[in-house]
């Protein structure tokens, strides 16, 4: 479970203040896949980084698995698996070394860790290259390892920031399968994207963010019922127009 | 701070760095190969210069006395080439300046007569012989030394003969003997010459040895987009800073150890490999020196590591980090070079100059001057304090969102 309540986040870059999140609330329920949708610069990455405790909000409450992420970020991180489309891996380590390293940072005991590595290797079909240097792996192989790295500690909450960006069809299908499977295992899955059609295929819940504000948050089925015949894209554009007409 | 996480980070970073060819080059190849090479080149160059000057034919001019005089013959007997007076194009001192001559000996007019007058007490001051030489030329200095020795011997002989002619003993010239004994043990003599340059080399290699890992582990990780994966783990920022800091420190100390060992081997082998290099290079560095220098260098390495780490965290790209560290290198190399200057000694003033103080202590340690140990301890403490201060700055920076996520 992830809950954000009235979160504010402002970046100071130079003399200008950038309001990245304004009075931002959202809730991601376990067992469902939640898609956070918005155009470039909407505040998706900022929201996800706040959940992952990489950034501290200026105001508001952030709850991850019933833990106050602001007050106890170290504890909250144990329950979160975080993956972004552009995070990379250590080229000079092998997949096994990488997974052992991250496992040890999550304080997994060696026996448990090796079992988990074997399980993930089987699940993601990584057995063939588990002991090869990362620098020599293909993009798709690296992507699988990135997924394994993010969930080495079997977290209840999985947060993915545009996880399919820059991937080819096969590699992004691996990611989508992983998202769907995690959802069906009862995990809390939150992912962000600006490709609305992708969200339409895999999400149960949708949040639409624009200029740091949550414009709409509901289940995909409800949204579709309210706007029959429209694609998510149509709905989003309509919302943005309405939002900009509102005097603020 | 969590010890097991710090250990995990340290072990991973060290493994990662040791697998990097660039670390190997800055840590092993340069100290182990470049240093001996540098020393051999310098030593053989200065030795061959000296030998060249010794073997080269020296041309001198003698003006003011006839070729038939005994003094002229005595100088000629040294085997130096004496330019004929009628071929001299200008004043002898100018010819020395122009390097046409290596030395010019100028006797005043009526020199022999004046000497006799002086013995007969009819002249108040003795005549003056002027030697023109060029101090910047080794060959000129050698000619000067040779001719002066001839003239001094001639002068002593004349006085001896005069005393005997008066019925006195010739050895009355020397009512007492003079003996100067150098109290500095031989190993320290070599150390004082080489200690300066060694201290400098060690400091510079320690700095360059820590620069690459410090940048790679901070801005390098940022640039390769792996930093976020580390920040989302339960490892605290403190654990990350300390784990990385220890890695940099260990690598820079390893580079230093290799430098010192390589220097020691070079020094001890040079004497036997190069004939004549013995005096300059037969320089014993015992385990006591190596250990004391290494221990002393720990806080210095901490200082360098923290300094470069701060640069690395602040920089946005590896390139930016490198261009920030250039002026920093200059800032460090200068004081280290300053400590090579002859007048620089440990004092109440120099003790507070970062880098200078450490270079001076290392120099004394290489000279096996154990009496400076209390001063060394004070400098050790000062460097430790500075390193701690810088590490705290690094720690603060690592907690700042605006520094870590600069875009
Ligand atoms: N570290 C930072 N310093 C200053 N401004 C920032 C920083 N990070 C984000 N911003 C600004 O905050 C706003 C939201 O950015 P954010 O990265 O959250 O958007 P996004 O929805 O993830 O966009 P994209 O689709 O491009 O990834 C943008 O205007 C961005 O310029
Ligand atoms: Mg983003």
The reported pTM is 0.82
The answer to whether the Cβ–Cβ distance between B232 and A82 falls below 8 Å is yes
Distance CA B88, CA B94 (A): 10
Instruction: Say yes or no: A86 contacts chain B, CB-CB below 8 A.
Output: yes
Can you tell me which atom of ligand 1 is nearest the CA of A42?
Answer: 21
What's the rounded mean pLDDT across residues B73-102?
88
pLDDT band at B90 (very low <50, low <70, confident <90, very high): confident
Which residue from A7, A20, A165, A209 has its CB within 8 A of the most atoms of ligand 1, so it is best to mutate?
A20
More confident residue, B243 or B345: B243
What mean pLDDT is reported for chain A? 92
User: Pick the residue with more confidence: A105 or B24?
Assistant: A105
Asked whether the predicted pLDDT for residue A136 surpasses 70, the reply is yes
Q: Which of A46, A48, A190 to mutate to test the pocket of ligand 1 (most atoms within 8 A of CB)?
A: A46
* Range of weakest confidence among B261-275, B282-296, B345-359: B261-275
From residue A65, alpha-carbon distances to A50, A55, A148, B383 in Å are: 14, 18, 21, 46
pLDDT tens string B201-244? 888 888 888 999 999 999 999 999 999 999 999 999 999 999 99
* Sign of the dihedral defined by the CA atoms of residues B313, B317, B318, B324, in that order: negative
% of residues, chain B, pLDDT over 90: 49
CB of A55 within 8 Å of a chain B CB? The answer is yes
CA distances (Å), origin A154, targets A102, A141, A185, A232, B110: 12, 20, 11, 32, 108
Residue B270 φ/ψ, nearest 5 degrees: -60, -45
Beta bridge partners of residue A37, listed in sequence order: A193, A208
- Residue A214's DSSP bridge partners are A209
Q: Does B228 contact A84 at a Cβ distance shorter than 8 Å?
A: yes
Higher-scoring residue by pLDDT: B348, A206: A206
Query: Residue A182: its pLDDT value, please?
Result: 95
The answer on pLDDT for B279 being more than 60 is: no
pLDDT in tens, B94-103: 889 888 899 9
> Which residues face A17 on adjacent strands?
A12
Q: Can you tell me the distance from the alpha carbon of A211 to that of A21, in angstroms, rounded to the nearest whole number?
A: 7
Question: In angstroms, rounded to a whole number, what is the distance separating the alpha carbons of residues B18 and A244?
Answer: 55
What average pLDDT does range A74-97 have in this prediction?
93
How far apart CA A46 and CA B329 sit, in angstroms, is 37
Cβ of A107 within 8 Å of Cβ of B4? The answer is yes
Closest CA–CA distance from residue A105 to any residue of chain B (Å): 6
Q: Does A201 touch chain B (CB under 8 A)?
A: no
Q: Which residue's CA lies nearest to atom 18 of ligand 1? A: A43
CA distance B352 to A55: 40
Cβ–ligand 1 contact at A40 (below 6 Å):
yes
Closest CA to A2 of A51, A57, A60: A51
Q: Is A92 helix (H, G, I), strand (E, B) or coil?
A: coil
Question: Which residue lies with its CA nearest to atom 28 of ligand 1?
Answer: A41
Nearest CA in chain B to A74: B234
Interface contact A52, partner B, CB < 8 A: yes
Cα separation, B257 vs B251, in Å, equals: 10
The pLDDT score that the predictor gives to residue B48 is 79
* Spatial distance between the Cα atoms of B265 and B258, rounded to a whole number of angstroms: 10
Cβ proximity of A191 and A33 under 8 Å: yes
Q: What pLDDT score does B196 carry?
A: 73
Confidence of residue B190 (pLDDT cuts 50, 70, 90): low
């Amino acid at each position: 479970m992830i809950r954000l309540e009235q979160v504010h986040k402002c970046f100071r870059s130079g003399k200008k203040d950038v309001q990245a999140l304004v009075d931002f609330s959202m809730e991601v329920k376990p067992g469902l896949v939640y898609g956070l949708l918005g155009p470039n610069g909407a505040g998706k990455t900022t929201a996800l980084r706040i959940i992952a405790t990489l950034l501290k909000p200026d105001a508001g409450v952030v709850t991850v698995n019933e833990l106050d992420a602001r007050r106890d970020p170290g504890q909250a991180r144990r329950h979160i698996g975080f993956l972004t489309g552009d995070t990379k891996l250590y080229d000079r380590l092998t997949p096994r070394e990488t997974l052992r390293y991250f496992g040890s940072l999550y304080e997994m005991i060696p026996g448990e860790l090796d079992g988990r590595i074997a399980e993930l290797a089987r699940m993601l079909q990584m057995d063939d290259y588990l002991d090869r240097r990362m620098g020599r792996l293909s993009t798709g192989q690296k992507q699988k390892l990135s997924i394994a790295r993010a969930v080495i500690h079997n977290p209840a909450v999985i947060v993915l920031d545009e996880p399919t960006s820059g991937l080819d069809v096969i590699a992004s299908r691996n990611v989508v399968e992983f998202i769907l499977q995690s959802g069906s295992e009862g995990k809390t899955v939150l992912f962000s994207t600006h490709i609305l059609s992708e969200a339409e295929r895999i999400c149960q819940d949708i949040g639409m963010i624009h200029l740091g504000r949550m414009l709409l948050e509901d289940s995909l089925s409800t949204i579709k019922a309210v706007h029959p015949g429209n694609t998510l894209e149509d709905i989003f554009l309509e919302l943005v127009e309405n939002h900009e007409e509102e005097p603020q | 701070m969590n010890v097991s996480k710090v250990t995990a980070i340290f072990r991973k970073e060290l493994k990662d760095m040791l697998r990097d060819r660039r670390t190997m080059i800055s840590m092993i190849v340069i100290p182990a190969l470049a240093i001996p090479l540098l020393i051999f080149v310098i030593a053989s160059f200065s030795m061959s210069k000296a030998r060249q000057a010794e073997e080269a034919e020296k041309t001198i001019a003698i003006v003011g006395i006839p070729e038939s005089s005994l003094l002229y013959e005595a100088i000629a007997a040294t085997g130096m080439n004496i330019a004929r007076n009628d071929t001299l194009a200008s004043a002898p001192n100018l010819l020395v300046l122009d390097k046409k001559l290596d030395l010019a000996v100028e006797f005043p007019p009526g020199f022999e007569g004046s000497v006799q007058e002086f013995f007969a007490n009819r002249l108040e001051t003795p005549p003056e012989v002027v030697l023109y030489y060029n101090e910047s030329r080794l060959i000129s200095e050698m000619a000067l030394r040779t001719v002066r020795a001839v003239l001094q011997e001639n002068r002593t002989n004349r006085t001896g003969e005069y005393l005997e002619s008066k019925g006195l003993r010739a050895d009355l010239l020397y009512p007492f003997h003079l003996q100067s004994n150098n109290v500095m043990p031989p190993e320290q003599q070599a150390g004082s010459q080489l200690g300066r340059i060694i201290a400098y080399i060690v400091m510079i290699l320690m700095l360059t040895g820590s620069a690459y890992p410090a940048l790679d582990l901070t801005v390098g990780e940022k640039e390769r987009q792996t930093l976020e994966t580390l920040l989302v783990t339960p490892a605290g920022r403190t654990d990350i800073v300390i784990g990385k800091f220890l890695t940099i420190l260990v690598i820079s100390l390893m580079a230093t150890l290799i430098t010192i060992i390589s220097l020691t081997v070079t020094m001890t082998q040079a004497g036997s490999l190069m004939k004549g290099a013995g005096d300059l290079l037969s320089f014993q560095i015992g385990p006591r020196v190596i250990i004391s220098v290494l221990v002393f260098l720990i806080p210095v390495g901490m200082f360098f590591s923290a300094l470069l780490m701060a640069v690395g965290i602040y920089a946005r790209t590896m390139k930016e980090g490198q261009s920030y560290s250039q002026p920093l290198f200059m800032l460090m190399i200068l004081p280290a070079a300053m400590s090579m200057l002859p007048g620089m000694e440990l004092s109440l003033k120099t003790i507070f100059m970062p880098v200078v103080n450490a270079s001076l202590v290392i120099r004394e340690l290489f000279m096996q001057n154990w009496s400076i140990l209390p001063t060394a301890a004070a400098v050790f403490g000062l460097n430790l304090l500075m390193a701690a201060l810088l590490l705290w700055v690094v720690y603060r920076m690592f907690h700042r969102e605006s520094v870590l996520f600069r875009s």
